[in-house]
A and B are shown apart, each in its own frame.
Chain A
Amino acid sequence: MTAVSAPTRTKHEVAKAADLPPGARKIVKAGRFQIGVFNVNGQYRAVLNICPHELAPVCKGPVRGTMLPSKVGEYTWGCDGEILSCPWHGWEFNLHDGKSLHDPKCHLKTFEVLVEEGTVFVLV
Chain B
Amino acid sequence: MSTTLTPTLSQLETPAAKAQAIRCVDCDVHQSVGLGQFREYMPQPFKRMAESGCAPGHLGLYNPIGVTRPDTIEADGKPAASKPDGLARMLLEPYGIDVALLTGGVYGFSSHPDPDYAAAVCSAYNTYMIEHWLPKDPRFRLAINVATQDPLLAAQEIERVGAHPGVSAVVISSATQHPLGQRTYHPMYAAAEKMGLPFCLHPGHEGTGITNAPTAAGYPTRYLEWHTGISCTFQAHLVSMVCEGVFQKFPELKIVLVEGGISWLAPLLWRFDKNWKALRSTVPWLTRPPSETIQGRVFMTTQPIEEPPEHGQLKQLFEMFDAEKMLLYSSDFPHWDGDTPDYVVRGFSETFKRRVLAENAIELFGL
Contacts from A to B (Cβ < 8 Å) = 54-57, 60-62, 85, 87-90
**Can you list 27 A-B pairs, Cβ within 8 angstroms, ordered by A?**
A54-B339, A54-B340, A54-B343, A55-B340, A55-B343, A56-B71, A57-B71, A60-B70, A60-B71, A61-B70, A61-B71, A62-B70, A85-B64, A85-B65, A87-B69, A87-B70, A87-B71, A88-B69, A88-B71, A88-B336, A88-B338, A89-B65, A89-B336, A89-B337, A90-B64, A90-B65, A90-B336
Q: CA separation between A55 and B94, bound complex, in Å? A: 13
Q: CA separation between A56 and B70, bound complex, in Å? A: 12
Q: How big is the B interface, by class?
A: 10 to 19
Contacts from B to A (Cβ < 8 Å) = 64-65, 69-71, 336-340, 343
Max count, chain A CB within 10 A of own CB: residue among B64, B338, B343 = B64
Chain A residues within an 8 Å CB radius of B336: 88-90
With CB as the reference atom, state the residue of chain B lying closest to A59. Answer: B71
With CB as the reference atom, state the residue of chain B lying closest to A85. Answer: B65
Q: CA separation between A54 and B341, bound complex, in Å? A: 10
Q: CA separation between A87 and B65, bound complex, in Å? A: 8
Q: CA separation between A102 and B339, bound complex, in Å? A: 20
Q: CA separation between A28 and B71, bound complex, in Å? A: 17
| Minimum distance in angstroms from A105 CB to a CB of chain B | 11
| Minimum distance in angstroms from A118 CB to a CB of chain B | 30
| Minimum distance in angstroms from A61 CB to a CB of chain B | 7
Chain B residues within an 8 Å CB radius of A87: 69-71
With CB as the reference atom, state the residue of chain B lying closest to A86. Answer: B65
Q: CA separation between A89 and B65, bound complex, in Å? A: 7
Q: CA separation between A62 and B70, bound complex, in Å? A: 8
Chain B residues within an 8 Å CB radius of A60: 70-71
Q: CA separation between A90 and B224, bound complex, in Å? A: 12
Max count, chain B CB within 10 A of own CB: residue among A61, A85, A88 = A88
Chain A residues within an 8 Å CB radius of B69: 87-88
With CB as the reference atom, state the residue of chain A lying closest to B71. Answer: A87
Q: Which 4 A-B pairs have the closest CB atoms?
A: A90-B65, A87-B71, A60-B71, A54-B343
Chain B residues within an 8 Å CB radius of A88: 69, 71, 336, 338
With CB as the reference atom, state the residue of chain A lying closest to B305. Answer: A54
With CB as the reference atom, state the residue of chain A lying closest to B307. Answer: A53
| Minimum distance in angstroms from A55 CB to a CB of chain B | 8
Chain A residues within an 8 Å CB radius of B64: 85, 90
